Amino acid sequence: MLERLARRLGLRTDPVIFFTSAALTFVFVVTAIGLTDQVDSVFRAASDWLKSSLGWFYILGVTTFLVFLLWIALSRYGHIRLGGQEARPEYSNRAWFGMLFAAGIGTILMFWGVAEPISHFANPPQTDVEPESVEAAQMAMGYSLYHFGLHTWTIFCLPALSFAYFVHRRGLPYRVSSILHPLLGERIHGPVGRAIDITAVMGTLFGVAVSIGLGTMQINSGLADLFDVPENRLVQILIITVVTLIATGSVVAGLDRGIKRLSNFNISIAIALMLFVLVTGSTLFLLRGVIETTGTYLSWLVPLSFWNDTFGDTGWQGSWTVFYWAWTITWSPFVGIFIARISKGRTIREFVTGVLMLPTAFTVVWFSVFGLSAINLQMEGEADLVAEVVDQGDIPGALFAFLNNFPLSTFVAAVSVFIVVIFFTTSSDSASLVVDLLCVGKTEQASPTRQRVFWAITEGVVAGTLIAATGTGGLTALEQVITVVGLPFFVLGFLMMFSLLRALRQDFPQLGGPPPGMFRAELADRRRAVTRRANRARRKAVQVRRGIGRREETGASEDDGGER
C-alpha cells in the first residue's frame, strides 16, 4: 500500500521510512501541542535523571570517540582513500571547509560566540572562582572552547567517517543502518535497519527544529534592535517562513549551486565580521588573547575531557555540557552524512584531520575574538553585558548587545542578522538533503526535488508549530526530548567504532591482525596448523641431529679400523 502511494505521489524513496517518519513527526508535534504540560513533565523527569545519573557516560563517550579518531588517523589505516585509491576530492579545500562550517557549527558560533563566555564569566562553572575575575575570564574561555572545539567536531566526525567508508568503499546506502553492516549483515535492509533509520530521521528533524527555533529568536532579537520589531510569535513565524523559503530555493538549486555557493559566500562574510571586531576593538589585546586562549584550551583539554563535577555536584555540567553533547549527537546523522557526501576521495587521515582540526582552529579564533572582546568590555566598564545578557536572560540578543559598542553598529548588526539567516538556511538545506538520503538510501540515482522540498518545509513547519502553539515552552520540551533521544545515539557511537574497525580489518587484513570475523573453529584450525608445522620442524631437526650423530659414529669406527 505504501509503495503504491509513493508511486502515485511520484516519489522515489523507501516508503516505509518516508511515511513512517513523516507520520511519527506529525503525531509528536500534535501531541506536544495538545498535551504540552504532560509531555513536558515526562521528558523533564527523564532528562533530569539522565543528566544526574548518566552524565558521566556522555562525558566518557565523547572523549573515547576523540581518542579513537586520533588513533585511526595516525594508524596504518590512515592512508586508505574513501572511494578507492584512484579517487580524488570533488571539492577544493576551501569549498569543503566552507560547507563543513556552514552545515555543522556556523549557526552555533553566531549564537553562542558572545553569550556563553559572558555567561560563564558572570557565573563560573566552579563555585570557588570569583565571578567577573581574571580567573573567571580564563575559565569562561576554557569551558566555551571545550564545548565547541574538538569534542563537538568529534561527535560529527565519527559518524561522518563511518558513513564515508561504508558508502564510498563498500557501496552501501546513505543510511545510519549501513554503518552497522559488519554487525547486522543483510538485516540492515530489513525491519531492524529501517527502525534505526526512522529514529535517525526523527532525531535529525527535531535537532534542526530546535536550532531553527533558537535562530529565529536571535534573528527576532536582531530585528528588534535594528527596527524595534516586536519579539512575539507572529514575527517569529514570519521569520521561519522566510528562512524556509530561502532553504527551499537552495534545495531546488541543488548541492553545488545551492549549499556550496551559500556556504562559501556566508563564511566569507562571517570572517569579515570577525576581522571587523578584531580591527575596531582592542586589537593588541585580542591578538595576545588568541595565543593565550589557545594555550588555555590545550592545557584544560585533558582535565575537562574527564571532568564530571564529582566533588562539587552542582548540576552545572548537566545543564551545559551534557545537554550540548546530547543535542549535538542528535545532529550527528545529519552532519555526518552531509560531510560524507562531500568528502569522497580524501584519505582517512585527511578526513579526520580536516574535520577535527580546521573547524576547531577557526572556533578558537572566533571565540577568542568575540568572547574576549565581550569580557574586556565588561571588565573595562565600557558596557554592562552581564546585566543585558545574564541578568535579563537575553541570550539570543547577546551578539547584538555586544555589537552596539562598535562603530557602524546598525550596519554591522544588519549584516549579522543576514549571516544568521544564511547559516540557518544552509543548515536547513543540508538537513533536507540528508533526511532525503536517509529515506532514499540509493546512491546511484538522484531523487525527485519534491522529496527534498518536502523535508525542508517539514523542518520549518515543526519549528513554526512549536513556537506558534507553545512558544519557548514547546522548544524547552523539545530540548528535553533531544536530551533523552541522545542516549541511544551515544550507544550507537560505540557500535560505530567497533563496526568500522571490524570492516577495516576485514577489507585490509594486511594492515592489521587477524580479521575479527574469523570463527573460533577456523582460528583453532590455524593454531593446529601452526602447531603441526612446528612439530614437523622439530622432528626434522631431531632427525638431522641424529643423522649427524650416526655419520660421526660411522666415521669414528672407520678411523678406528684403519688404525687397527
Q: Are residues 357 and 478 in the same domain?
A: yes
Examine the fold and report which residue of 472, 487, 509 is the final residue of a domain before the chain moves on: 509
Residue type, 97: F
Q: Let me know whether 483 and 528 are in one domain.
A: no
Over range 303-315, report the average pLDDT.
88
- Compare 384 and 472 and report the one with higher pLDDT: 384
- What is the tally of structural domains in the chain? 2
Identify whether residues 416 and 534 lie together within a single domain. Answer: no
Say what the pLDDT of residue 519 is: 38
Measure the CA dihedral 445/438/162/306, to 10°.
Answer: 160
Quick one: which of 99, 17, 12, 7 has its CA closest to 443?
12
The predicted pLDDT at position 515 comes to 45
Confidence of residue 3 (pLDDT cuts 50, 70, 90): confident
**Does some domain include residue 151?**
yes
Instruction: Indicate whether 193 belongs to any domain.
Output: no
Cell 669414528 -> residue: 556
Query: 502 and 526, same structural domain?
Result: no
Question: Residue 542's domain spans which residues?
Answer: 520-564
Is the pLDDT at 310 greater than 90? The verdict is no
Taking only the tens place, the pLDDT of each residue in 439-453 is 887 655 567 888 989
pLDDT digits (tens, 9 = 90+) for 265-296: 778 898 999 999 999 999 999 999 999 999 99
CA nearest to 322, candidates 42, 57, 104: 57
Q: Please report whether residue 177 resides in a domain.
A: no
119 part of a folded domain: yes
Pairwise pLDDT comparison (197 vs 205), residue with the higher score: 197
Q: Kindly indicate the confidence band of residue 517, based on its pLDDT and cuts at 50, 70 and 90.
A: very low
In the prediction, which pLDDT does 521 show? 46
Is the confidence at residue 513, as pLDDT, over 70?
Answer: no
pLDDT value, residue 564: 39
Environment class of residue 195 by beta-carbon count within 10 Å: exposed (0-12), middle (13-18) or buried (19+)? middle
Nearest CA among 458, 486, 488, 475 for reference residue 39: 475
What's the mean pLDDT in 3-9? 85
Band (pLDDT 50/70/90 cuts) for residue 553 is low
Contact between 95 and 264 (Cβ < 8 Å): yes
> If you write DSSP's letter for every residue of 40-72 in order, what string do you get?
HHHHHHHHHHHHHHSHHHHHHHHHHHHHHHHHH
Q: What percent of the chain has pLDDT over 70?
A: 85
**Same-domain pairing of 424 and 450:** yes
Whole-number Å distance between alpha carbons of 119 and 389: 8
Where do we find the cell 528588534? 224
Decide if pLDDT at 252 tops 80: no
pTM listed for this prediction: 0.82
Task: Specify the pLDDT at position 432.
Answer: 84
Question: Given this model, what pLDDT does residue 122 score?
Answer: 95
pLDDT in tens, 117-156: 999 999 999 888 999 999 999 999 999 999 999 999 999 9
Q: Are residues 467 and 538 in the same domain?
A: no
The residue among 499 and 204 whose pLDDT is bigger is 499
pLDDT over 90, % of the chain: 41
Mean pLDDT throughout 306-312? 88
Altogether, the residues listed in the chain come to a count of 564
pLDDT tens digits for 389-434?
Answer: 888 878 889 999 999 999 999 999 999 998 888 877 777 777 887 8
* Residue 195 falls inside a structural domain: no
Residue 544: pLDDT band (50, 70, 90) is low
The verdict on 535 and 474 lying in the same domain is no
Q: Tell me whether residue 159 is in a domain.
A: yes
- For residue 198, is it within any domain? no
In the three-class reduction of DSSP (H, G, I as helix; E, B as strand; rest coil), residue 85 is classed as coil
CA gap 378, 373 in Å, rounded = 9
If asked whether residues 492 and 527 sit together in one domain, one would say no
Distance (Å, rounded) from C-alpha 458 to C-alpha 98?
25
Within this chain, do residues 554 and 422 fall inside the same structural domain, yes or no? Answer: no
For residues 17 and 59, membership in a common domain is answered with: yes
pLDDT at 516 > cutoff 60: no
C-alpha cell at position 142? 576554557
Q: Domain boundary residue among 486, 509, 532?
A: 509
Helices and strands (H and E) in the chain: how many: 22, 0
3-state secondary structure of 445: coil
- On the question of pLDDT at 486 being above 90, the answer is no
pLDDT at 334 over 90: no
- Average pLDDT value for residue range 536-550: 67
pLDDT at 505 over 70: yes
51-96: pLDDT as tens digits: 888 889 999 999 999 999 999 999 999 999 998 878 888 888 887 8
Residue 520 binned pLDDT confidence (cut-offs 50, 70, 90): very low
Q: Rank 143-157, 328-342, 526-540, 543-557 by mean pLDDT and report only the highest.
A: 143-157
Q: Does residue 562 surpass a pLDDT of 50?
A: no
- Please check whether residue 410 lies inside any domain of the structure: yes
370 and 241 inside one domain: yes
- The pLDDT of residue 205 is 84
534 and 453 share a domain?
A: no
